[in-house]
Amino acid sequence: MLPLLFVVIPLGAALVIFLLSRVWERAGDLFANLATLSLFVISLTLVGPILRGDTFAYNLGATSPLGIHFTIDGLSLLMLITINLLCFMSSLYSVNYMERYTAKPRYYILLMLMIMGMNVVVLGADLVNLYIGVEIAAIACYALIAFGVEHEYLEASFKYQIMGTVATLCILLGIALIYRTAGTLNIVELYDAVAAAGGMGNPILVFSSVLFLGGFGLKAAYIPFHAWLPDAHSTAPTPVSAILSGVFIKVVGLYCMIKVFFSIIGLTPAFSMVLMVLGAISIIVAVLLALAQWDSKRLLAYSSIEQMGFILLGIGIGTPLGILGALFHLINHATFKSLLFLDAGSVETATGTRDLKELGGLNQRMPVTGVTTAIASFSISGFPPFNGFWSKLIIIIALVQAIGIGYPGFAPAYITFAVIALVGSILTMAVFLKLERHIFFGSLPEKLAKVREVPWLMCAPMIILAAVCIGVGIAFPWVIGNLLDPAVGVLSVFGLGG
């Protein structure tokens, strides 16, 4: 029953908000936060059982291929905790932030549907559920991006609708081809069925994996496929941007990609190389593009592409240490990038602008926002002891270690990628120095002299996320032992040396 709760609670909350909002305007504030909080608490209670080696499974309907299968293992639990923590923070932030838009209950309904879609992706044990989850989350997300119904919102949303639909159609075609060849869609059965059908010797399977790479690559916004991300993430309402950059692109893009390339097809040298090259290109190109931005949320959006590059680089190595670094960076990026988006939203709320050239000296006027942004900037630039330092360090160590134990003949590539990762982290520091310098330091412009700190309900999620950044950084052995090791165990059997 337990896995079903992650679908039923947000869906039920959406219904309750829809019904009650007609008689009570603030029903959304209460029920959305209750739902996300309870989801987060439920996901935390599962840490102990998963660590003991239990798995949770639930079959809705028949056990035939037509039933709906949900499972929770170490990897999906890690994603569930991340999703539901960030969604709780965002819905808490929305209470005051979304006052500027009309039809707030509808916003909460769409948000609940998006959370439900992401949970279905993570829980789903076959490709049909995966696809349905991706589609639900994506449709809710298109509507949320367009929520402001002004020129920019509509344009960004339409761009993403076109690209996202082409991506989901590629994924669907890939699923059709894999079903034709292997005869099943259950992820556990697919691994053997794909191997029996000839694996990468079978041209149809090669074609379907290329379709998956394109489809999920578009969803995860790696560099040749990134055109929609800066528009969508910078124009969406801030709590939605935080969810989009923090978990959405990871769940519907990266997590699905990992599922397909590890648990279904199995990592081959060719895919390992493709993933690492995509990651390295994303790191270098996106960080340079981020440096050139003067809109704070746009800068953060480009920086998201760069950090996703780090995660893909780690996953592509395929060694247990590489996967550990990638998954660790995934949860770290989720916390500090959402925090940065919430901070940018607070600055926008207080001053009415996102243009870095018009801001400055806000540290005196907005202490909470200033301090939390500084913590997040330290984390993302990789200063010890903040959490971003450890995960980047693990990824670089894994690259160096792979020279010895990785695929033979890849040694020059591993060295190149390690250098790119180092250069990328240094350039990240430059990006965030620019952000800090132009928003929080320097002289305070005349017209900002009366700026005041945002309400406490917007400060609270920022403080909690900053505490998570520091806490995970200091207690990283505990996080690795209790949360990450079970997740790495799920993947490393399919990776290099498994």
Partner 1 sequence: MIATYTLCAILFLVGLYGVVRRKNLIKVIIGIAIMVQSVGLVFVVLGYSEGGVGGISQTMGLVALIGGLAVMTLMIATSIRLHQKYGTSDISEIRRLKG
Among 45, 63, 64, 443, binds partner 1 (CB under 8 A): 64
**Which run of H or of E encompasses 155?**
helix 151-182
372 is a contact residue toward partner 1 (CB under 8 A):
no
Altogether, the residues listed in the chain come to a count of 498
355 is a contact residue toward partner 1 (CB under 8 A):
no
Task: In whole angstroms, give the CA distance from residue 102 to residue 150.
Answer: 13
Among 70, 142, 248, 336, binds partner 1 (CB under 8 A): 142
Which residues within the stretch 287-306 sit at the binding site for partner 1 (CB under 8 A)?
A: 292-293, 295, 298
Please, what is the minimum distance in Å from the beta carbon of residue 145 to partner 1? 10
Q: Which of 293, 438, 447, 433 is nearest to 356 (CA)?
A: 438
Cα–Cα distances (Å) from 435 to 60, 230, 234, in that order, read 49, 16, 15
- Mapped onto helix, strand or coil, the DSSP state of residue 63 is coil
Contact characters 121-140, partner 1, x per CB under 8 A: -------x--xx--x--xx-
Q: DSSP per residue over 323-335, as a string?
A: HHHHHHHHHHHHH
103 is a contact residue toward partner 1 (CB under 8 A):
no
Q: Is the peptide bond before 385 cis (omega within 30 degrees of 0)?
A: yes
Please, what is the minimum distance in Å from the beta carbon of residue 176 to partner 1? 5
150 is a contact residue toward partner 1 (CB under 8 A):
yes
Residue among 259 and 392 whose Cβ is closer to partner 1? 259
Residue among 104 and 298 whose Cβ is closer to partner 1? 298
**Which run of H or of E encompasses 70?**
strand 68-72
Among 143, 291, 474, 475, binds partner 1 (CB under 8 A): 143
**Stretch near partner 1 under the rule CB under 8 A, chosen from 43-51, 62-70, 316-324, 400-408:** 62-70
Q: Which 8-state DSSP code applies to residue 103? A: -
- Mapped onto helix, strand or coil, the DSSP state of residue 373 is helix
Contact characters 219-258, partner 1, x per CB under 8 A: -----------xx--xx-----------------------
173 is a contact residue toward partner 1 (CB under 8 A):
yes
Burial 89-110 (b: 16+ CB within 10 A, else e): bbbbbbbbbbeeeeebbbbbbb
1 is a contact residue toward partner 1 (CB under 8 A):
no
Residue among 38 and 165 whose Cβ is closer to partner 1? 165
**Which run of H or of E encompasses 277?**
helix 269-291
Residue among 129 and 363 whose Cβ is closer to partner 1? 129
Q: Is the peptide bond before 239 cis (omega within 30 degrees of 0)?
A: no
- Residue 258, Ramachandran bin (φ over 0: left; ψ between -120 and 50: alpha; else beta): alpha
Q: Which of 402, 257, 262 is nearest to 330 (CA)?
A: 257
Q: Would you state the structure tokens that stand for residue 57, as one six-digit string?
A: 């499974």
Half-sphere exposure of residue 485, counting CA atoms within 13 Å on the CB side?
A: 13
**Stretch near partner 1 under the rule CB under 8 A, chosen from 71-79, 179-187, 406-414, 470-478:** 179-187
285 is a contact residue toward partner 1 (CB under 8 A):
no
Residue among 51 and 132 whose Cβ is closer to partner 1? 132
Residue among 162 and 426 whose Cβ is closer to partner 1? 162
Among 19, 60, 169, 270, binds partner 1 (CB under 8 A): 169
Among the residues of 221-268, which ranges form H helices?
228-235, 238-243, 249, 256-258
User: Count of residues binding partner 1 (CB under 8 A)?
Assistant: 42
**Where along the sequence are the contacts to partner 1 (CB under 8 A)?**
64-66, 128, 131-132, 135, 138-139, 142-143, 146, 149-152, 154-158, 161-162, 165-166, 168-169, 172-173, 175-176, 179-180, 185, 230-231, 234-235, 292-293, 295, 298
